[in-house]
Chain A
Amino acid sequence: MDFLRAASLDDALATKAQRPDIAPIAGGTDLMVAINFDHIRPSGLLDLTSVPELADWSESGGVIRIGAGVPYARIISELGEHLPGLAMASRTVASPQIRNRGTVGGNLATASPSGDAHPALLACAAEVELASVRGTRRLPVAEFFTGVKRSAAEPDELITAVHLARATGPQQFAKVGTRNAMVISVCAFSVALHPDRAEVGTGLGSAAPTPRRAVEAEEFLAGELTSRGMWTDPRPLPETVVTRFGELVAAAAAPIDDVRGTASYRRHALGVLARRTVGWTWDEYSTGRQTCA
């Protein structure tokens, strides 16, 4: 197995174009596990950790571009204010050691239904930036996931960044696992209020073959808030609205029974998470006070 280190994005893209079967490596926290378990045998590794274009985040015009190689630890410490949902999701990933190395780029490329960044990216309507020697394109994250551990990235493409609008309202992320840290999600849910455009975003993890939105739940809640005039005049959310939102989120899931949990538990738990997190976001929106996490 060859080990190649790219010094620049051009360099990396050229290599990927020549050798589409080479495995890019960022934090290595997915890839090395797969190699260790002998699940994959790439012909070589392409180390992206020295590519400057992937290593930082920047903001312009209210949109934040996070380089694919920015580790979770930095998202937590530097972007907690701008992107609370993604920062919360990052905080639930693994352990401090893994968060120092693991990246959103790697999470996206693995495209696991249980990747913790995905629900937060979905709720924030993020875009994935993909590059190849042929050029650069941006794709809504919802279109990026095409199947279990499959994505829209072409064999010669690298993920270079994600783009997300800076939060204009409260965001939450919650994940169920069978222990209190260092656990792959049994199911996860993220919700974001976008008062600037009177919209609600959602994202479900470990709930279907791909991470997905609960579109009906989003439209229902946004509709209720708009028709009741609550975006401008926030009052407590009626219990019926919270309940219905939970039902719609659960209904959006198409979970399976697997070694981590049953489908019926997942559906049940997503409803609970949806009700709680929407309550927290609404509390924060209506009182201006952030709840814990």
Chain B
Amino acid sequence: MSAHVNAPSRAPQDLSESITGGVGESPSRPDGNLKVRGDYAYSSDLWAEDMLWGATLRSPHPYARIAGIDVGQALAYPGVYAVLTHEDVPGDNRYGLKIVDQPVLAEDVVRFRGEAVALVAADHPETARRAVELIAVDYEVLDPVTDPKRAAHDGTLPKLHPESGRENNLVRYQPVVRGRQDVSADVVVSGTYTLGMQDQAFLGPESGLAIPAEDGGVELYLSTQDLHSDRKQTARALGLPPDKVRLTMSGVGGAFGGREDLSIQAHVCMLAMHTGKPVKMMYDREESFYGHVHRHPAEMYFEHGATREGKLVYLKARMYFDGGAYASKTPVVVGNATTLGTGPYEVPNVDIAGWGVYTNNPPCGAMRGLGAVQPAFAYEAQMDKLASALDMDPVELRQRNAVDQGSVLHTGQKLDYPAPVGELIERARNLPMPPERDPAAEPDIRDLPGGAANTTHGEDVARGVGYAAIIKNVSYAEGADDYSTARVSLQAVGGEAVAMVHTAAAEVGQGLVTVQQQIARTELGVERVNIHPNDTSVGDSGSSSASRQTYITGGAVKTACEAVRETLFERATARLGHAVPDLTIVDGKLVSDSHGVLADVVDILGDEVIECTREYHHRPTYPLDPETGQSELVHVQHAFSVHRAVVDVDTQLGLVKVVALDCVQDVGKSVNPDAIVGQIQGGAVQGMGLAVMEEIQVSDGLIRNPSFTDYLIPTILDTPPMKVDIIERGDPHAPYGVRGVGEPPTISAGPAVLAAIRAATGLDLTHAPAGPEHITGTAH
């Protein structure tokens, strides 16, 4: 309760400013102008009187035994208030999203370069960093496990998590089999595809401020994707009951999955509780590369058989996902990849297997498109390869095999909602093409591969076009009870009815604040809707991930609004002395078709506040059979998008300019059309980045490019105009018919760009990203 009384300055962002517009309109974001002007306060701007600064000592080795830690010198350094090791973890020294396998601070062994070993609190960030260097750790360096395939199968390698009880270094093995396994086909194509490790590349580094509370608990201000998940894990580490650990969201500078796991949470709270002072932690960019999980790199063998007419007969797929040192979301990656591995296509006979493993590489976990991005690169490359083997138009081939409502996927799940993949593909093909390059005209070099760096004036530039259609699950799956909580109140303030919406659902830039206001405005018929800062004083909303919040938290807000409205109607009935059948609220007035305007909402409310808290649970899903991968309903919903990419490639230098990257997507119901276009365009750029430049290079367990100097993400000069064609085929099971939006474009953009590069160059290009070396054959 006291969380906001002594709130630090520049803490939870005031995004409560009321916007106008209901469901289907495009009110602009309350944080938009602030961010453009540089006035938005991020969690890295948090500040409290008298606060200390925390810093983390991290392992320089991917795999080593710790023989001893000497903190004496660090502790003696002037300005240092605390130096903590695993011995100081007050609760259980373990955390994890799915599997609780990661130490808060390393004990006798470190399993990746960057693992947290010790913490320092000091009166200045520089002092804290210097003190970190004075901690002496005695490491016995071990041979790291770095090959994911060997980690899965080779019993002679060290077991990194013997406590797991699973074979070798397995985190999860999942087969999905359906139909006949001994089937042959007229035409068979196969390939092995690999994907590098992608970073979320959010701009706001991990940061937060912990303030010890008088009741022995702690207040934590931070940026995260899931307050309650953080609270549960942090409370466990601190040995506190969850209600003593109170979290409040501060300004989030991007997330994309990278804020699902703990980073500073338990550490900064430990330091605050130990010193009795507010403590702030903030990673710098390099530390951030070690301080959050990345997208799983993958190696995938895919083999498709088809009839001469281009109907898919079978798919055999083998996929390996390197989860790195700790499990994080590896089990979900394996689940998603194996259940979505056919792509949005009907395949009668399927034999898919996925392995997620532990290694001593950097831990991998959630990132936009979780587990669906990797197989999409493989199955879409295969569709083009198959089309070429059949001498068939690749668009035509995709249409012939596209799923539709009523299709049964290889898990046995029947799609009982629209699945208009054929229509999406058709519309993508029909979008206008960008103009051809005129070789006679003097080019603007910024439009050519290489851009302003002046590498070509048109020499050796070839154009290619590529398509990709993809499938993604929305929300939590495999039997998880996926729900969100909303508290909605309505009261009269200054003669006007004002609603307040309170959820813990993280606004990470996706526009959820706006969506919640739009829903409340639509459901309650009032103009003023305020949003309470996200915190843990209301029930769980789950994570801002899996494209789920508009669906799930939107559903909770809608349900809570309906409850508020019912209560209001009951009061109106009591006031009026008779029941009116068809009451609605319009512009703050109670209206019925039969009786016209009956009363002002403010008059019905009087001095009272109507407040209702409701949970929304989506319909139940079911786990996969561990042997066959069959499930009645493994995913509550699927989303689909199609991208068409047009690229110019300098075939001699291997440089790429994406000329157009157009998308068609089914969003079920467009709650905020402008925000959807923003999600699709932003997501597409992230997918394009993976296709052409984004890769964390890891060798022997070490990251070679932990900086934005060498981990490249697209700039505006790499970003083409992007047409977006949105269709709305409502899902009858979802609130308003919505369908998750945020992830699909990230998944379809990359394979489309790679397909276009293949079309321009005639090369196979089996690795994403396809860099200049791959295109010019000079990788070694």
- Chain A contact residues, CB within 8 Å of chain B: 33, 36-38, 88, 91-92, 95, 172-186, 259-262, 264-265, 268-269, 272-273, 276, 280, 291-293
Contact = CB atoms under 8 A, between A and B. Distances in A.
Interface in B647-668: 652-655, 657
A176 B772 contact: yes
Candidate in A174, A179, A269, A293 with the most chain B CB atoms within 10 angstroms: A179
A88 B697 CA distance: 31
B707 A183 contact: no
Nearest to A186: B772
Contacts of B457: 276, 280, 291-293
Contacts of A261: 772-773
Given A178-B693, A180-B718, A265-B778, 17 more contacts: A37-B707, A38-B129, A92-B453, A172-B454, A178-B712, A179-B717, A180-B655, A181-B717, A259-B704, A259-B705, A262-B778, A262-B779, A265-B772, A269-B776, A273-B653, A292-B444, A293-B454
A179 B717 CA distance: 8
Contacts of A268: 776, 778
A91 B446 CA distance: 11
B118 to A, nearest CB: 18
B284 A36 contact: yes
A179 B454 contact: no
20 contacts: A36-B284, A37-B284, A174-B454, A176-B655, A179-B714, A180-B451, A181-B452, A181-B715, A181-B716, A181-B718, A259-B697, A259-B704, A262-B773, A264-B773, A264-B778, A265-B654, A269-B772, A292-B445, A292-B457, A293-B454
Contacts of A273: 455, 653
Contacts of A178: 655, 692-693, 712, 771-772
B652 A272 contact: yes
Contacts of A276: 455-457, 459
B351 to A, nearest CB: 37
B442 interface: yes
Given A176-B653, A268-B778, A269-B772, A184 B709 contact: yes
Contacts of A272: 652-653
A292 B96 CA distance: 56
A81 to B, nearest CB: 17
A166 B712 CA distance: 36
Given A176-B653, A176-B655, A293 B445 contact: yes
A38 B126 CA distance: 10
Given A180-B449, A292-B444, A173 B454 contact: yes
B717 A180 contact: yes
Given A272-B653, A276-B459, A265 B773 contact: yes
Contacts of A183: 453, 712
A173 B714 CA distance: 23
Contact of A179 (B284, B442, B712, B779): B712
A261 B693 CA distance: 12
B445 A175 contact: no
A292 B455 CA distance: 11
Contacts of B654: 265
A248 to B, nearest CB: 18
B275 to A, nearest CB: 24
A152 to B, nearest CB: 26
A112 to B, nearest CB: 11
B570 interface: no
B391 interface: no
Contacts of B129: 38
A238 to B, nearest CB: 18
A32 to B, nearest CB: 13
A264 B757 CA distance: 21
